[in-house]
Structure 1
Amino acid sequence: MTIPATREPAAPDMLRRAGLRVTAQRAAVLDALSGTPHAAVDELHEYVQERIPGIALQTVHGIVNDLTAAGIAQRVSLPGAASALYELARADNHHHVQCVVCGRVEDVECVVGEAPCLAPSQTHDMRILEAAITFRGVCSSCDS
């Protein structure tokens, strides 16, 4: 797994700001997330194993859970996806578009036009935090 150059602040700085202890394992997982949005834990594990041979898949799961709890990463659950995907938390309410053939996932910054249903008709005494929208389609590579 090749990770492109990161555009995010250095992993140790991000971990310290979130109050997490800086370890080589956490930094490696964070680097993988920085370069690979919408990654499953097994993909992150593959990258981290190249840098830290012998790291257990369960360790990567634990680190992803720590990063999510600290607000550094967020879980992306998509219809039909084999497993949860993770991305760096952006403190926004962006959406996703997903190819139903190959599974490719991309960010959608904002929905435009008429909102069909962004406010629920009944909150059932819950304070709404976000509305998650996933557009599903077929990408141009799979459509040919």
Structure 2
Amino acid sequence: MTSDPMPDAADLLRGAGLRVTMQRRAVLEALAGRPHAPVDELHVAVHARIPGIAVQTVHGIVNDLTNAGIAQRVSLPGAACALYEIAANDNHHHMQCVVCGRVEDVACAVGEAPCLHPSHDHGMRLLEASVTYRAVCAACDAA
């Protein structure tokens, strides 16, 4: 969500304990340029740089980046597949157009995550909590 430039891909990978490979760098750089991208879109971008890379390889790399905390999965209602973004380590939310599917980041209105911590966990280990604003973008509204 921040507009800070992304650190060098190799530094991010090394810092997370991941081996620096051409494929991982390419996926990370593609992700940095395409926030909220599905793996198929990342594959197209990476394939232009590394012909022959398989979509399954991109899936594996995205999983590695997510497990390492470099990227995060964005699961949205009604989305056909998971989207991924560089982990901002902030408390931002998402606004999703229900017509075209466009997704944008939205800063938290209060700066903290008060509603993202349940008042009672019912004995469950919380994995994820999110706020998603569902809307109609201006272009779709005009159509």
* Interval containing the TM-score (normalised by the shorter chain): 0.7 to 0.9
Is 1:142 aligned to residue 122 of structure 2?
no
* Cα RMSD, aligned residues only: 2.1
8 Å CA contact retained: 1:7, 1:34: no
- 1:59 match: 57
- 1:40 match: 38
- Structure 1 residues 41 and 139, CA, compared in 2 at 3 Å: closer, same or farther? same
8 Å CA contact retained: 1:99, 1:105: yes
Amino acid at match of 1:21: R
8 Å CA contact retained: 1:73, 1:88: yes
- Structure 1 residues 12 and 45, CA, compared in 2 at 3 Å: closer, same or farther? same
TM-score by length of 2: 0.88
Percent of aligned pairs sharing the same letter:
72
For these two proteins, the number of residue pairs brought into alignment is: 137
Q: Residue 104 of structure 2: SS of its match in structure 1?
A: strand
**Aligned counterparts, 1:59-78, within 5 A:** 59-78=57-76
TM-score by length of 1: 0.87
| CA positional deviation for 1:121 | 4.3
Amino acid at match of 1:82: A
Unaligned runs of 5+ in 1: 1-5
| CA positional deviation for 1:10 | 1.2
Aligned match for 2:92, one of 91, 94, 108: 94
1:87-113 deviation digits (Å, cap 9, x = unpaired): 01111221000000000000011135x
Q: Residue 33 of structure 1: SS of its match in structure 2?
A: helix
Aligned match for 2:79, one of 75, 78, 81: 81
Amino acid at match of 1:124: H
Aligned match for 1:111, one of 100, 109, 112: 109
Which aligned runs of 4 or more in structure 1 are off by greater than 2 angstroms? 115-122, 125-131
1:6-49 deviation digits (Å, cap 9, x = unpaired): 93011111101111000000000000111111000000000000
In the alignment, the residues of structure 2 paired with residue 17 and residue 117 of structure 1 have an alpha-carbon distance, to the nearest angstrom, of: 31
In the alignment, the residues of structure 2 paired with residue 119 and residue 66 of structure 1 have an alpha-carbon distance, to the nearest angstrom, of: 26
In the alignment, the residues of structure 2 paired with residue 13 and residue 120 of structure 1 have an alpha-carbon distance, to the nearest angstrom, of: 35
